[in-house]
Amino acid sequence: MIKVFIVDDHQIIREGLKRILNAELDIKVVGEADNGDEVLTGIINSECNILLLDLNIPGISGSFLIEEILKKNPSVKVLVLSINPEDEFVFPLLRSGASGYVCKNSDVSELIIAIRKVYDKGRYLSKIAAEKLAFNVLNEDIQLYRNLTPLEHNIMLSIANGKDYIDVAKEFEINIYAVYACKRKIFEKLNLKNDVELTLYAQKHNLIMN
């Protein structure tokens, strides 16, 4: 049984959500709260496994509230509700531990799907939020790539293409220690850990042939 705890400061919305969710055979609403402080108290004794969290509530809210909820009940999955499909806080919320993000203007069927998917140890993002996340990640990668110097760029491509470090040093007329130093800077700028990740990064952005 999926046990849901609803957090919303509007009673009418809470009552509507309870009727919708309790109508499902595998879902039961086991608790509710209308502010951040109340949910932190209620979540301790609740047997819920899904917490349906409205962003705009009085008291503690947002990323800090999610972090505090998970401290008190690490097993609960937080599914965020937002009135804005492109809310600028979606990414900090996900980084804080939220398992999903659904717009309040979504169809009821989408909310049910989201609850079930998150319950099954998955994640759920509305289509618009997912597209925005992918776009932002891609843009972030591009910006990191642009931070490379011309020499770092060329050495990265040589390493990604499988060239030996000695050959790379000869190609750019530098000593091998300079190659290693340059590689460390590339890893730092692109948030990479090893040559394999560097090669995958280059393939992902079509910098070399797959």
Is 180 within 8 Å of 165 (Cβ atoms)? Answer: yes
| The CATH number fitting domain 2-126, selected from 3.90.1170.50, 3.40.50.2300, 3.40.920.10, 1.10.3720.10 | 3.40.50.2300
Q: What ranges do the domains of the chain cover?
A: 2-126, 147-204
Is 62 within 8 Å of 87 (Cβ atoms)? Answer: no
Q: Phi-psi region for residue 162, left (φ > 0), alpha (ψ -120 to 50) or beta?
A: left
Q: Which tokens hold the place of 47?
A: 């047997």
Rounded-to-integer distance, Cα 192 and Cα 184, Å: 9
Hey, what CATH class is 147-204 in? Answer: mainly alpha
Task: Determine the straight-line distance between the first and last CA of the chain, rounded to whole angstroms.
Answer: 45
What is the length of the chain?
210
Phi, psi of 87 (to 5 degrees): -55, 130
Q: What is the pLDDT along the chain (210 residues), one digit of tens a residue?
A: 999 999 999 999 999 999 999 999 999 999 999 999 899 988 887 889 999 999 888 888 888 899 899 988 988 999 998 876 555 556 677 778 888 888 888 889 989 999 999 998 778 877 666 656 655 555 556 566 667 887 888 888 888 888 889 988 988 889 999 999 999 999 988 888 888 888 888 777 666 644
